[in-house]
Chain A
Amino acid sequence: MTPHILTRSLDRAATAFVLIVAAIGVLIPLSNLLLPQGSMFQVPTYLVALWGKYVCYAILALSIDLIWGYCGILSLGHGAFFALGGYAMGMYLMRQIGSRGVYGNPILPDFMVFLNWSKLPWYWYGFDKFWFAALMVLLVPGLLAFCFGWLAFRSRVTGVYLSIITQAMTYALLLAFFRNDFGFGGNNGLTDFKDILGFNVQAEGTRAALFLLSCLALIIAFLISRAIVASKLGKVLIAVRDAESRTRFLGYRVESYKLFVFTLSACMAGVAGALYVPQVGIINPSEFAPANSIEAVIWVAVGGRGTLVGAALGAVVVNYAKTFFTSGPLAPYWLFMLGALFILVTLLLPKGIVGTFNSWWEKARHSSPDADSAAREDGIGAPNAAE
């Protein structure tokens, strides 16, 4: 990528976000590994894994925001891409178990031995190599999104119709992955992982490294999204979101733009899923449940759609709240709260936390007497400040 794209995308807020995520990515693992246990500043290992999970969710939220916030495509099936990435990683981790499984079969994972399968199905070939699995993490969700999007966008399936068929897509995958004969462990999914690249997945050091990697992936995903949003491509996406047919009449091939961001977004979701699985230790078909995908959409809505920082923030805030409430005495009321969150955010806070803050900030700035001229000078260099 040419440097001008990078410089253009790094405004003050973006730089601050990158620096904060980088600091968290370094400090939390360091405190976990270096400080003595029980120290006030030592982050316990379970928290490292939990926050690692949040970071993966933040990547998923970014991917949803990229298509929904900027291009107006509401996917209710993005959990499917997340889960596919997760399964690709899970398959690598399964094959790393080797003969340490319950049945001790060096090639076949336990569930296949249990099902009396005599040999590995062809689609499990290659997953013993990390580079192959890593490639599949990008390729499988990307390819599915490409095919799905190619069909849908070319036929101009838009709005709620698109949302519903994405939901049907993840539902179909949910049903398929629940089947034992599909070859992905049925409803138990893939679990009991031992190592990743030769390191024990349970070890503190591995967990710390995975956390750092997740933060790095979040930064990269953020920068890619930021570069897209700040480019002319980003303006076209917003144009498509606001007035699709007008954009067409200007001579833009709208379906190509949609297909590009949709596929890219699916790849990002796949990476999020792949980082999620070793930290959580399991991947099963329930990740495909339509409810999960919709929940991920609400993270973005809470944080503020159309603001990348907001999407990431929303994922962390909502999931932190989920962990907090579902583990306490308020657990039975969590679904009430989540449901109310959906309703209240759409009704009262349509711009989300960050979006509302931004417009409040803009208003505060504009209320000063010479704001108009200031904005004019400001705008030429950074026309995207408001986005």
Chain B
Amino acid sequence: MNVMDTRATSAMLYLDGVHVSFDGFHAINNLSLALEPGEMRAIIGPNGAGKTTMMDIITGKTKPDEGTVLFDGTVDLTRLDETRIAELGIGRKFQKPTVFESQTVQDNLLLALNVDHSVRGTLFWRGSKAESERIDKVLETIRLTDARNRLAGSLSHGQKQWLEIGMLLAQDPKVLLVDEPVAGMTDVETHLTAELLKEINRNHTIMVVEHDMTFVRELGVKVTCLHEGSVLAEGSIDQVSSNERVVEVYLGR
């Protein structure tokens, strides 16, 4: 680790030379990427480019065949499981909104709070004022205060997306991985979501995967385009969208 790239020590998330294959199919191919602390990065790319698989690798769901994945410059994520990685402070929103449908909105947030997650801790848990204040605050942020006692399963699609972002907020991780947050949202909702993410970005590092180019443009952050499991182009949205290869494989204009 002595000869480690200086970027690696300063980066919040650092991937280098990562390979994954499923039964001969190379889902991730020599992928290298670094996310600085406090940065928000948008990831774009066609279906099958490896965006979701990359998130699976970072969150410990999939183990890479080779390559380095470091968190906070020092922690080797390839050796840890999902729980441990979540405890370290990496939160994830899934592509398909995944909330606990048979529980209330409020309980969803309660479960997400980064308090004692041990069996003992939850068994003898009693709510505190600080906790309910935090939940109230998150509810306000995601505009679900009125729906706090509704079952999460009864929410609209957009509300579920927000609830999931709200769960990320309650979890208060160092890094947020957000997979397609505006899929199925109206234009107004999309705009509000962009605002919300920018707001969150003030004190969190974010990696957001999205197909909606208007949304990505609205975020106004550095963009990485993935293709066939590796980085095709990286830079501002204008630089990337004028890159010939990106146009060819992804934007298709």
**Which residues of B72-103 have CB atoms within 8 Å of chain A's CB atoms?**
81-83, 86-87, 91-92, 94, 98-103
- Interface positions of A from 1 to 33, Cβ below 8 Å from B: 2, 4-5
Assess whether B242 is interfacial by the CB under 8 Å rule: no
Q: In the complex, identify which listed stretch (B11-19, B111-119, B225-233) lies at the interface while the others stay far away.
A: B111-119
Task: With A232-B110, A242-B100 as known contacts, state yes or no: A5 contacts B117, CB within 8 Å.
Answer: no
Count of B residues near A, CB < 8 Å? 36
The distance from the CB of B158 to the nearest CB of chain A, in whole angstroms, is: 19
> What is the CA–CA distance of A250 and B124 in the complex, to the nearest angstrom?
19
Closest A residue to B132 by beta carbon equals: A380
B190 lies within 8 A of chain A by Cβ: no
Contact partner of B100 among A232, A243, A248, CB < 8 A?
Answer: A243
Q: Which residues of chain A have C-beta atoms less than 8 A from B100's C-beta?
A: 238-239, 242-243, 246
Task: Tell me if B106 and A252 are in contact (CB < 8 A).
Answer: no
Is the beta-carbon distance between B149 and A380 smaller than 8 angstroms? yes
Q: For B117, what are the chain A residues with a Cβ–Cβ distance below 8 Å? A: 250-253
A147 on the B face (CB < 8 A)? no
- Mask: chain A, 334-362; 1 = CB below 8 Å from B; 0 = not: 00000000000000000000000000000
Q: Which of A157-165, A189-197, A254-262 contacts B (4 or more CB under 8 A)?
A: A254-262
Residue from B91, B119, B125 with most neighbouring chain A CB atoms (10 Å): B119
Choose one: A2, A233, A245, A380; the contact of B122 (CB below 8 Å). Answer: A233
Query: B103 and A233: CB pair below 8 A?
Result: no
> A2, A236, A251, A375: which has the most chain B beta carbons within 10 Å?
A251
**B149:A375 contact, CB within 8 angstroms:** yes
Interface residue? B217 (CB, 8 A): no
Task: Say if the beta carbon of A322 comes within 8 Å of chain B.
Answer: no
Whether a CB of chain A sits under 8 angstroms from the CB of B159 is no
Scan B141-172; emit 1 where CB is below 8 A from any A CB, else 0.
00000001101000000000000000100010
Known contacts: A243-B100, A379-B149. The answer to whether A252 contacts B83 by CB under 8 A is yes
Contact of A246 among B94, B126, B151 (CB under 8 A): B94
- A242, B92: Cβ atoms under 8 Å? no
Distance, CA A232 to CA B100, complexed state (A): 14
Contacts of A246 in B (CB 8 A): 94, 98-100
Give CA–CA (A206, B46) in the complex, Å. 74
**Per a CB cutoff under 8 Å, which of A2, A238, A245, A375 touches B103?**
A238
Q: Known contacts being A231-B124, A232-B122, A257-B119, is A250 close to B111, with CB within 8 Å?
A: yes
Given the known interface contacts A246-B98, A249-B82, A376-B149, the answer about A256 and B91 at a Cβ–Cβ threshold of 8 Å is no
A256, B59: Cβ atoms closer than 8 Å: no
Contact of B82 with A231 in the complex, beta carbons under 8 Å:
no
* Chain A residues bordering chain B, tally (CB within 8 A): 33
Residue-wise, chain A 365-379 has the 8 Å CB interface mask toward B (1 for contact) of 000000000011011
Q: State in angstroms the CA–CA spacing of A18 and B148 once bound together.
A: 31
A248 pairs with B82, CB closer than 8 A: yes
A23 to B78, CA, bound (A): 58
B86 touches A250 (CB 8 A): yes
Nearest chain A residue, comparing its CB with the CB of B124: A2
A233-B125, A260-B119 given; A239·B83 CB < 8 A: no
Q: How many A-B residue pairs have CB under 8 A?
A: 92
Whether, in the assembled complex, A291 has its beta carbon less than 8 Å from a beta carbon of chain B, the answer is no
Find chain B residues with CB under 8 A from A243 CB: 98-100
How many Å from the CB of B161 to the closest CB on chain A? 14
Residues of B within 8 A of A386 (CB): 151
- Which residue on chain B has the smallest CB distance to residue A253? B83
Return chain B residues, CB-CB under 8 Å to A232: 110-111, 122-123, 125
What separation, in Å, do the CA atoms of A375 and B119 have in the docked complex?
30
CA distance A386 to B102 in the complex (A): 9
Q: Does B61 contact A (CB under 8 A)?
A: yes
A228 in the interface (beta carbon within 8 A)? yes
The reply on B36 being an interface residue by CB < 8 A is no
Bound CA–CA A256/B87 (angstroms) = 15
**Which of A238, A246, A252 has most chain B Cβ within 10 Å?**
A246
A248 in contact with B83 (CB, 8 Å): yes
List A215-244 residues whose CB lies under 8 Å from chain B.
Answer: 228, 231-233, 235-236, 238-239, 242-243
Inter-subunit contact A249/B149 (CB<8 Å):
no
Distance in angstroms between the alpha carbons of A30 and B233 in the assembled complex? 83
Is B104 interfacial (CB-CB < 8 Å)?
yes
| Interface residue A36 (Cβ < 8 Å from any Cβ of B) | no
CB pair A239–B119 under 8 Å, yes or no, is no
A230 to B237, CA, bound (A): 49
Partner of B59, one of A228, A247, A249, A260: A249
Which B residues lie within 8 Å of A233 (CB)?
A: 119, 122-123, 125
Judge whether B234 is part of the interface by a CB distance below 8 angstroms. Answer: no
Determine if B39 is an interface residue (Cβ-Cβ < 8 Å): no
Residues of the A chain whose Cβ atoms lie less than 8 Å from the Cβ of B118 = 253, 256
Q: Is the CB of B126 within 8 A of A383?
A: no
Task: For the complex of A and B, list the 6 residue pairs with the smallest distance between their C-beta atoms, beginning with the closest.
Answer: A379-B149, A251-B86, A232-B125, A233-B122, A248-B82, A232-B122
Known contacts A231-B124, A249-B92, A250-B167; 11 additional CB pairs below 8 A are A2-B124, A236-B111, A238-B102, A246-B99, A248-B82, A250-B171, A252-B117, A253-B117, A257-B119, A376-B148, A383-B107
Could you jot down 21 A-B contacts, CB within 8 Å? Answer: A5-B123, A5-B124, A232-B125, A233-B122, A235-B103, A235-B107, A235-B111, A235-B122, A238-B100, A239-B103, A243-B98, A248-B86, A249-B59, A249-B82, A250-B111, A250-B117, A251-B86, A253-B83, A256-B119, A375-B149, A379-B104
